[in-house]
Amino acid sequence: MAIEKGYRHRARWRLWAAIFVTALVFAPAVRADSDNDGGGSKKKNVATFDAELGTAWFNTIYELVRDTAGYNPPVASRAYAYCGVTFYEALVPGIEGGKSLEGQLNDLADLPNPQNGKKYHWPTAGNAAMQTIATHFFPLSEDAINDLADEFYDAYDPDVKQQVTNRSIDFGVAIAEAIIEWSEGDGFADIAAANAAFVPPAVDGAWVGTGTGLLPAWGTIRTFVLESSTTCPAVGHPPFSEDSTSSFYAHALVVNNTTGDAGANLTDDQKDIAFFWADGPVQTGTPPGHWINVIGLLAAQRDLNLAEVAEAYARVGLAVGDAFITCWQTKYETYLQRPITFIQNNIDASWDPLIATPNFPAYTSGHSTQSGAAATVLTAQFGSAPYEDTTHVDRNNTAILDQLVTDVRSFDSIMEAAQEAAVSRLYGGIHYLFDNNDGFAQGQCIGQLQVDHLEFSE
């Protein structure tokens, strides 16, 4: 089992612990496994610890998503969501006033509970939980995952008694295993068959691409907070028309005229916006990963504690998870062609976008939907103060950095950043304005429903 590597320094401790327990059998005043076992008090609030454990793990998850084949944006959003819930649930018993998400998320039930009256070192529990869930999602990176876990185990060892450490590890592993079991019922195991069975709808202006596109059945994946993938519907795009006087044609002209061929009409800053928020797989930790990384930036810039980031990683993971399910349901229901198809067929046959067009339908924009959702939950938790986005520098995303004039972007609020992420898709030439605007509104709906209905405190 992967967790055993984290015990490599502990074999001798277990031997001495066994001798010690035997010696205490005849000492009735004190039990070796009592509240006197020291270290990691069950009353010590997670909020008294800094955010390093959370930011280190989720920075690593971001990089594993970037460096692991198959982690396109929807698949990545699912991993971020389950990792976020795992981390939060491993820590919530130690958060003063904290409330488990059990019974609040779809089908999440029967999570393990810590033993009554026993002491836990909550960072150790969170570390073990993340080691377990990360190994589940990224089994080929088990050695790197174990190395990170061991760094924290080794750092905590001098301050925590062995039996508290072992109990905390056992609890963290049990939480992660329960979340993994929960994840296995979300429909992901059947997604390949569902994709193969997908039949494109007969619509005017149908999408043109390779096959039926990326993950056409993703909208059937179980949602996390939302009742279903249709809980936050988009308002609907303008009726498709090739008539030069139509609303649809006018929207295509906006794309053509704003960008010019291959971005020729864009300013340097507009190009930077397009590239900064592109967040392509393989080059980065994907668009949902960008918002996961923002939590680490907020943690550093606002001196957040471990309880605050644990809630934030859960909130954002769930928001982007639901956003991609909802957006993909909309995309493959409307099955609308991209600007490149319309513009080349009706306006300028030689026109190309600045950014390569993804292989799935246009409406709504995934970037916009997930950005609206993430920004809504983050703003609800932290307010609208300024922040500086150093994502690509911090994660050493060289393919993006090579395209940028300015590596770092500054924002007056989280919502301003999300709005820039949405308009970036217009500058990239791959979305109509209504894709972005309607997707952003869809995302805000997703985020607000989470804020209104999910309780993180008693």
Whole-number pLDDT of residue 16: 32
Does residue 170 register a pLDDT over 50?
A: yes
Position 193 confidence tier, pLDDT thresholds 50, 70, 90: very high
Q: What is the pLDDT of residue 385?
A: 86
Taking the C-alpha atoms of residue 108 and residue 100, their distance in angstroms, rounded to an integer, is 10
pLDDT in tens, 63-83: 999 999 999 999 999 999 999
**Nearest Cα residue to 314 out of 291, 298, 281:** 291
Q: How many CB atoms lie within 10 A of CB 298?
A: 22
Q: Is the pLDDT at 19 greater than 80, yes or no?
A: no
- Mean pLDDT of the 385-400 span: 96
For the chain, give the longest Cα–Cα distance.
93
Domains of the chain: 41-183 (1.20.144), 202-453 (1.10.606.20)
Q: Name the β-bridge partners of 336.
A: 206
- Whether residue 356 has pLDDT greater than 60: yes
* Contact between residue 237 and residue 438 where contact means Cβ atoms under 8 Å apart: yes
This prediction's pTM: 0.92
Confidence (pLDDT) at 392:
98
Q: What is the pLDDT of residues 231-269, one digit of tens each?
A: 999 999 999 999 999 999 999 999 999 999 999 999 999
Rounded mean pLDDT of the chain? 92
**Rounded Cα gap, residues 409 and 404, in angstroms:** 11
Q: Which of 355, 363, 89, 92 is nearest to 213 (CA)?
A: 363
**What is d(CA 79, CA 390) in angstroms, rounded to the nearest whole number?**
23
Q: Residue 157 has what pLDDT?
A: 78
Confidence of residue 15 (pLDDT cuts 50, 70, 90): very low
Task: Kindly give, in sequence order, each residue whose CB lies less than 8 Å from that of residue 4, ignoring residues fewer than 6 positions away.
Answer: none
261's CB contacts (< 8 A; 6+ apart) are 348, 350, 351, 352
Q: For residue range 334-350, what is the model confidence (pLDDT) as tens digits?
A: 999 999 999 999 999 99
Distance CA 222, CA 229 (A): 8
Q: What's the mean pLDDT in 201-214?
A: 97
At residue 23, the pLDDT reads 35
Per-residue pLDDT band at 43 (split at 50, 70, 90): very low
